[in-house]
Structure 1
Amino acid sequence: MAILDEIVDWTDNKNQFWRMTVDTLIRKNNLDATDLQFLKNICKDEHGLLKFNYIPADFNTLRTFIQNASGTTDISLVGIKDIENISALSHTTELEFAPAGLTLIYGDNGSGKSSYASVLKHVCATRGIRPVIHPNLFYPAAVLADKKANVFFSKAGNVECVSLINTNIDRPDLRAVNIFDTSSANHYVEGEDEIAFIPHGIDLLDKFANALKYIENTLIEEKQKLSLQRFDFSVLQLNQASPSHTFVTGINSNTTREQLTVNSDWDENKEARLLVLDEEIQKLRSTDPQNKARTNTEFMRRLTTLRNYFANLETELFADETLQKIKETVNNYITSSNSLKVSSEAIFSDLPLNGVGSATWKQLWESARKFYNESKQKESFPDPNAHCPLCLQSLDADSKQRFENFEEFVKNDLQKQFDKAKSAYEGELATLNALDFSTDAYEPTILEIESIVQGYRISQQDYISALQTYHQYLIDLFQDEELIEDIELPVIQVNAKSMINALLLKLGEENKVLLTESIADRLTVLETERSNLQDEKKLYTFRPKAYREVLRLKRIKSLDTAIGKCNTRSLTTLSNNLTQTHVTQLLKDAFKNELNALGFRNIRVEAETRGARGKQYHFLKLGENNASNAALKDILSEGEHRCIALATFLAELSLSEHKSAVVFDDPVSSLDHKWRNKIAGRIASEAAVRQVVVLTHDISFLMMIQEHADKQNVPIVVNSLTRNKQETGIILNNPPWDAMSTSKRIGVLKDQQQKMAKLEKSETEEVLRPKIQTLYGRLRETWERFIEEVFLNDTIKRFGREVQTQRLSKVVDLTVEDYNKVEQNMSKCSTYMVGHDSAGELNEEIPSAQEFLDDVVTLEAYVKEIRKRRN
């Protein structure tokens, strides 16, 4: 895998964030939510945003991993067995694959086919999304159990095994086996305006770019939240001309604590000077006619502060964002609590004590852990082979199992979800409880308002009372611990905030008149000095909040730097360079050859290249002269789209250095008959050079592949899957009935006759009648297959696309006796089969199992007679 080696070399001198991303992608092929969070933490750690401990990427071991995963030895699949807790798959069944040629596995919906495919998609290579592997829902305890399977394969003549536990594999060998399905086809056929495919190895750069974009978005979101927490220095009401205001305006991420201390210094001398200035200015203002305007302005500032206090209470209580957050927090807490309760009851239901699994019990468990680990001086709790840390007695088998169950419960994902939801619940409730409805700090302002607006205090009390009532309503929503459908809005009859706004408007209009007179020049110097001192004192009072603002700005700067590390421009350049080096004309030629092999000749398609955000596209466009800007998606049918995806898949395979197995999971869906047949033929021809496994629920497609395999002399094994009430994936070592030949159907009918013969000894005629009717229906279908396959020498086939007239040469031997024999036996089958209403006297007695066997043997002998006659 030269491309992977070059990606590793290119990343080797990059930051740990990028190195760890490449390491994880190469080892896992995809990144889940846990991986993305892990990588984001590394990014934040590198920029001082988080203290995060992790083991740095070791590119030497990564190169070894690539070498082991990219060997050129052919690998073929042997089988899947040792299945545990994967959907409803039988744990005793072994799915085997033919060592060469074509293995067809047919399964109807619900037979377990998709579950087997899911196992293969987790251990083999696929461009598509690896499906979720579900536990066995028939067994409730399976939710907490591991999902396991062993996939056996042949490599260099040796049978080896890859173990799958949940979504993890113990070795990467089967990454050399490729899977084609609907999901991977969508990866090849990508986008709305073009059809794109990404060469193997370069597709990691696409996933790398997507990871960078995701982490970039989460960092931007964190930055946006920090931006909303900006400290509003306007609450200090600083004079815009003062040095303090100038300093505050210039605060940024480079501001130091020392600079803040110098600009917010305060001592006794400054306090004394401020008192002197107050006295001098008061004396001068007593004769100033504009004193009232200044008094009004100061009063308006106090009114604005009180008004903002009320506005903040309303926001914290019934803003849309607040109510939505409360609803989500309470509902998440209740949902996770119920889930945890169900889980804990399942684990601890048979214990002799109540309360096991509760918060008090967990505290006892963690105390026992701490004591045990300190006594052993290592992290080994719980150790089922040691003594109980509480009673110091030896543990029997049940106690050891109970210890393991306890530890599994503590570490369970449901517990983590509950802890997270509970933390959010308690935090949101604490925020509500922390709301302060006291207006004592504003009492002087309230007295001033009361002197102007009669009855204001009572109106304010009613307003505060309404807010407190609604506050209690919200707290009750938390304490009721019930799911919230909707949150009612408060009913406020009198709004004190609106009354203050009206007063502010009135005072503003009054000041427009008062301020027409200028302030005496002799007050300017004194008031400027006093204003500067007052501002310096205010800044001194708010110094802790100001420093928190400095820290916020520094964090935003670090976030900006981290966001810059998520830029994908260099990834796009690397993708372009790798494409120029590795995606040669060979791939384009192979792609065209595959299109020709699939009969894609109606329109001319040309390959082009473009790169964007670390993603390299090799897309196709119409090559017709009058195509203009027409998009392929508007021209091609669904079958043509799938044809192009398959051509891309096979083109890449043709350039690989090995001939390892390939798996096709329902490679066709609702495609038209033309493309289904061409794809069937191409898959059959691929089975001539490598092991091919096809899983399908489409009986006509299965028969098409059988037909092509027979024509091309490709070895083929056809198996089918069935299920019982609680198990799926049960192997039937024969094709589905509709795909069976005459001889195989005869064999099945003989087996069923033996079962019928046993039933005759114990069952009544009412029980036997529908069973023998079903058997005669199957026998009639076998006669019909005989007519196609033997009687008419395959001249016409069901699901066939042609009439092979050259095969009629052997049909001329048929006589009237032959026709009569067929008619006689078909008529008898019709008489007894389900769906034919017979005369009353025929219902008096049904054929015996022996008579049915005689009828089957008649057909078997007749088949031999016809074939012997024509040879």
Structure 2
Amino acid sequence: MQAQVDIRSWLLKQNDWLQEAADRLLKKGEIDALDVADLAALIKTPAGRKPSSHREFAELSHRHNVQDELRLIQIGEVAGIENLEPRRPLEFGSHNLSVIYGHNGSGKSSYTRILKKLSGKPRAAELKTNVFKAAPPASRCQVTSELNGQQSAHEWHVGQPLIEALRNIDIFDSDEASHYLTAESAATYIPPIVGMFEKLAVVVEQVREALAAEQAKLVTALPQMPAIYDGTPGKRFYESLGAATPTMLNGALTWQPEDESQLTGLIERLKAEDPGALAVQRRRTRAELQKVITALSGGAEAYSDQSLKAIRGLRQSAKEKRQTALEGAKIKTAELEGVGLPTWKAMWEAARAFSASPYPHDQFPVTHDQARCPLCHQTLDEQAQHRLQEFEAFVQGKLETDAKNAESLYDKALEPLSKIPTEQEITTQCEAAGLGSKEWSDYLKAFWLTASKARAALHAHEAVHPAQPVAHQAETIASLTDYQGRLDDEAAQYEADAVQFDRAQASKEKLGLEARKWITEQAAAVRAEVDRLKKSKEYDAWKALTSSRAISTKAAEVTQAAVTEAYVGRFNQELRALGAHRIQVELIKTRARNGVVLHQVRLKGAQDARTQPQGVLSEGERRIISLAAFLADVCEKPGAAPFVFDDPISSLDHEFEWAVACRLVALAQTRQVIVLTHRLSLYGILEDLARKVSDDWKSKHYRAMRIESYGGVAGHPSDQDVWNASTKKANNILLTRLTEARKAGDVGGADAYRALAQGICSEFRKLVERSVEEDLLNKVVLRHRRGIQTDGRLRAIQGIQLEDCRLIDELMTKYSCYEHSQSTEIPMFIPEETELRVDLEALSVWREQLNKRRDAAA
């Protein structure tokens, strides 16, 4: 209970996203991709990155009690996997202790490798096909299992994922032995309260991977800066965009006209071979630019709205005064209308001018008696003379004078209107003034076109349409004036360059400006990159929160009591059970990684702590220690799953072999244990120990099997043979074989009979030996058994009779030649079927009578 309280307290100090991960693990047991996405989204929020206190974590107090019982029933239909081609399934049935005997190469390890692969063991070797045969169409097998009494068949193909239902099978072989002896490993069974930390560390890693995957999509689109700009301030800025402030960024991405002018000036200065000539050229350009400014200024003033209003005012004044003069020009003696009109005035002034020729000394109009009219050259009567005098009086009168003055002012206002340059003249002016861009040419042409229209309208007295004023040019003139100033500065610079010029420094400045300009041309990409880098930094900050160090630290603290101490205790207990407690080894916690606490077997008391057990201990000692570590690791898992041992006593002496056999039988009391071995000694010991538990238990839970190889393929389960059957059953097996040998002889002759009968004779010799151990001596002493058993057995031996010994002695003598080599001078003859059957039946009858005598004596 204290552990749950401690863990809850620790969780409530963590950031909200980590609390959410733990809460989902406790509620669901596992985390899926949607959960990881939710957690990755939560860690991006301010609230998700702060501790919270609203979760109860009630699941920490729940008890987990799994009592499932899993059993392997059979492995069959093996095809295309290594050299296994069993004719029928390898069956384990309902027995708790299955012992599978087979010679080397009989397929024991191949079955083990299949079970490791399909149950998803981390050190499972890759399964191969039979390298001596053509590749099969499929590599597969079928495994039947039973969970809590319910059988299931699983067809599995090599390359497919593990069979989830068989994940809990535990397997010990040479690879596992090496792992437990040399590598750091985590305990297989972790209590749920501790396993939560391991899962939490995995979830943290998944969230980090999800964030990293999102971050990886933030691909830069920033162009590579040309190498020519290496070393410039622009290049350094370009390579450190992540540190750029908004002010720095705006400044770096702005290219002002003066920047362009400065760059152009540097280019020109560097081009120039004669700076003095360029200075003259700049002065000349400035002068031409002044003409443009002057013309533009004059045009802007002449055709401004104010000027147009002034001209219109003069026109109106002249018109009004002319009208007044016309009113005053109605002379009584005039015979025609129109006196005072402009055409009339023009004619009158023409007459005045002409009169100076015939009458150079007379004042106009000449009206003496000899005078004639300057227009019609007729003599003037008195009325005509009076009319001419009135006309002149009108012309010289005040009203006419006022009208003339007003018209003169109006005419003078029109005279100075700026002359409009042609388009070609504008183009030439722009080029001469350094305004070569089309924009300037188009701008000035548009300005003068407006002025031209206004000028035409004014000269037409706006009779058709009114004159439109031109736009204000103050800003344009200011810009041109700035340009003029720059020309002055350039001219001054060239003049200075003509005296002294640091070309290297100018080149460096030019390159720096070009780098800056290049960067401004990538403004959109640069801003996008700054945004990307900013987002990437956010991801770095989020990923920094996914460190599993705190989880590992807490896991180590909790695991020390809940896992490590228990694991070490079990290891020491297994060492004692296996008789290996005197070997100087210990299981220690080495470190924690991603919430998982790792352990390793080390030498105890070694002067050099780096010395590994595999470099000091014997092969047998290494084997027994690794077996102890394996059993300590897996025995405490909840439920009962099968244990599979492939040659567990490899390299062990008889003492350790006996201890291992005892431990295996003890394990078989509560779960299924499958032992594959090539050692007859273990085979016999396990049978003996199973009987020692009880005859009833042995009959229900002990199953002895054999697999064999033949014709290049292996894994065949074989029928019960003479060597592993009871003596009574073995006797019957030999009688059955003798019948088959006789039938073969009837068909194929003596050679066919002898080929089979010789083997029967050899097996019969071995059966006689076993009959001495198991029948005559009542199994008090057995080969391949560690001890002598007298309890309940020794009394029966007193019933042995002389006839018993004589029969055994005769049969041993008669059939020894078929088991041991003989001299070539003494030929070996195979008994006829009748003779051999008599001997076999005689041994069977003797055994039956011996048991009857002993039963009667008891």
Per the shorter chain, which TM-score range? 0.5 to 0.7
Alignment-derived partner of residue 668 in structure 1? 649
Amino acid at match of 2:812: M
Alignment-derived partner of residue 80 in structure 1? 75
Alignment-derived partner of residue 612 in structure 1? 592
Alignment-derived partner of residue 600 in structure 1? 580
User: Aligned runs of 1:96-495 on 2, under 5 Å?
Assistant: 96-122=91-117, 124=119, 129-134=123-128, 140=134, 142-143=136-137, 145=138, 147-155=140-148, 157-166=149-158, 172-191=164-183, 197=187, 199-200=189-190, 235-238=227-230, 240=232, 242=233, 244-252=234-242, 263=252, 274-281=263-270
1:573-614 CA-to-partner distances (Å, cap 9, x unmatched) read 353244146338655544443332222332576664453322
Contact map agreement 1:102 1:691 (CA 8 A) in 2: yes
Cα distance in 2 between the residues matched to 1:839 and 1:229: 97
1:583 aligned residue (550, 559, 563): 563
Relative distance call for 1:781 and 1:543 in structure 2 (3 A) is: farther
Alignment-derived partner of residue 716 in structure 2? 730
* 3-state SS of 2:106 partner: coil
1:821 aligned residue (795, 802, 807): 807
Contact map agreement 2:741 2:752 (CA 8 A) in 1: no
Alpha-carbon offset, residue 175 of structure 1: 4.0
1:812-846 CA-to-partner distances (Å, cap 9, x unmatched) read 66566544433432333234558435557766xx4
Contact map agreement 1:125 1:179 (CA 8 A) in 2: no
Alignment-derived partner of residue 743 in structure 1? 728
* 3-state SS of 1:762 partner: helix
2:663 aligned residue (664, 682, 694): 682
Alpha-carbon offset, residue 153 of structure 1: 0.9
Alignment-derived partner of residue 90 in structure 2? 95
Cα distance in 1 between the residues matched to 2:582 and 2:195: 30
Cα distance in 2 between the residues matched to 1:101 and 1:279: 99
Relative distance call for 1:549 and 1:605 in structure 2 (3 A) is: same
Alpha-carbon offset, residue 763 of structure 1: 1.4
Alignment-derived partner of residue 858 in structure 1? 842
Q: What's the C-alpha RMSD, in Å, of the aligned pairs?
A: 5.8
* 3-state SS of 1:130 partner: coil
1:690-730 CA-to-partner distances (Å, cap 9, x unmatched) read 33222223322222222222222242110111244375433
Amino acid at match of 1:700: S
2:514 is aligned with 1:534: yes
Cα distance in 2 between the residues matched to 1:185 and 1:74: 26
Cα distance in 2 between the residues matched to 1:854 and 1:86: 47
Alpha-carbon offset, residue 680 of structure 1: 0.7
1:789 aligned residue (774, 783, 786): 774
Relative distance call for 1:865 and 1:541 in structure 2 (3 A) is: same
Alpha-carbon offset, residue 670 of structure 1: 1.8
2:706 aligned residue (720, 729, 750): 720
Alpha-carbon offset, residue 683 of structure 1: 0.7
Cα distance in 1 between the residues matched to 2:603 and 2:827: 71
Amino acid at match of 1:770: A
Contact map agreement 1:668 1:676 (CA 8 A) in 2: yes
Contact map agreement 1:830 1:836 (CA 8 A) in 2: no
Amino acid at match of 1:152: S
Cα distance in 2 between the residues matched to 1:42 and 1:646: 43
Alpha-carbon offset, residue 198 of structure 1: 5.2
* Matched residue count: 602
Cα distance in 2 between the residues matched to 1:711 and 1:119: 33
Alpha-carbon offset, residue 569 of structure 1: 1.4
Q: Which ranges in structure 2 are unaligned for 5 or more consecutive residues? A: 44-57, 277-498
1:467-489 CA-to-partner distances (Å, cap 9, x unmatched) read xxxxxxxxxxxxxxxxxxxxxxx
Contact map agreement 1:236 1:538 (CA 8 A) in 2: no
* 3-state SS of 1:252 partner: helix
Amino acid at match of 2:228: L
Relative distance call for 1:597 and 1:81 in structure 2 (3 A) is: same
Contact map agreement 1:125 1:178 (CA 8 A) in 2: no
Alpha-carbon offset, residue 679 of structure 1: 0.6
Cα distance in 2 between the residues matched to 1:625 and 1:527: 72
Relative distance call for 1:546 and 1:772 in structure 2 (3 A) is: farther
Relative distance call for 1:761 and 1:47 in structure 2 (3 A) is: farther
Cα distance in 2 between the residues matched to 1:184 and 1:700: 23
Amino acid at match of 2:515: D
1:785-812 CA-to-partner distances (Å, cap 9, x unmatched) read 2233333443543233345688676556
1:756 aligned residue (741, 753, 759): 741
* 3-state SS of 2:241 partner: coil
**Which has the larger displacement, 705-714 or 792-801?**
792-801
1:420-454 CA-to-partner distances (Å, cap 9, x unmatched) read xxxxxxxxxxxxxxxxxxxxxxxxxxxxxxxxxxx
Amino acid at match of 1:147: R
Contact map agreement 1:572 1:611 (CA 8 A) in 2: no
Cα distance in 1 between the residues matched to 2:561 and 2:774: 54
Relative distance call for 1:585 and 1:766 in structure 2 (3 A) is: same
Cα distance in 1 between the residues matched to 2:746 and 2:540: 84
Cα distance in 1 between the residues matched to 2:740 and 2:250: 97
Question: TM-score scaled to structure 2, two decimals?
Answer: 0.56
Relative distance call for 1:285 and 1:232 in structure 2 (3 A) is: farther
Cα distance in 2 between the residues matched to 1:737 and 1:13: 71
Contact map agreement 2:71 2:641 (CA 8 A) in 1: yes
* 3-state SS of 2:711 partner: coil
* 3-state SS of 1:679 partner: helix
Cα distance in 2 between the residues matched to 1:208 and 1:720: 47
Amino acid at match of 2:91: E
Cα distance in 1 between the residues matched to 2:796 and 2:608: 52
1:548-592 CA-to-partner distances (Å, cap 9, x unmatched) read 987997898689669757744144135324414633865554444
* 3-state SS of 2:774 partner: helix
Cα distance in 2 between the residues matched to 1:159 and 1:279: 94
Relative distance call for 1:44 and 1:686 in structure 2 (3 A) is: closer
Alpha-carbon offset, residue 749 of structure 1: 1.8
2:687 is aligned with 1:706: yes
* 3-state SS of 1:663 partner: strand
1:301-356 CA-to-partner distances (Å, cap 9, x unmatched) read xxxxxxxxxxxxxxxxxxxxxxxxxxxxxxxxxxxxxxxxxxxxxxxxxxxxxxxx
**Which has the larger displacement, 688-697 or 227-236?**
227-236
Alignment-derived partner of residue 354 in structure 2? none
Q: Which ranges in structure 1 are unaligned for 5 or more consecutive residues? A: 29-34, 49-62, 288-518
Alignment-derived partner of residue 339 in structure 2? none
Question: TM-score scaled to structure 1, two decimals?
Answer: 0.55
Relative distance call for 1:160 and 1:69 in structure 2 (3 A) is: farther
Alpha-carbon offset, residue 753 of structure 1: 1.7
Alpha-carbon offset, residue 738 of structure 1: 4.4
Contact map agreement 2:86 2:716 (CA 8 A) in 1: no
Relative distance call for 1:267 and 1:199 in structure 2 (3 A) is: same
Contact map agreement 1:640 1:675 (CA 8 A) in 2: no
Contact map agreement 1:197 1:648 (CA 8 A) in 2: no
Contact map agreement 2:781 2:788 (CA 8 A) in 1: yes
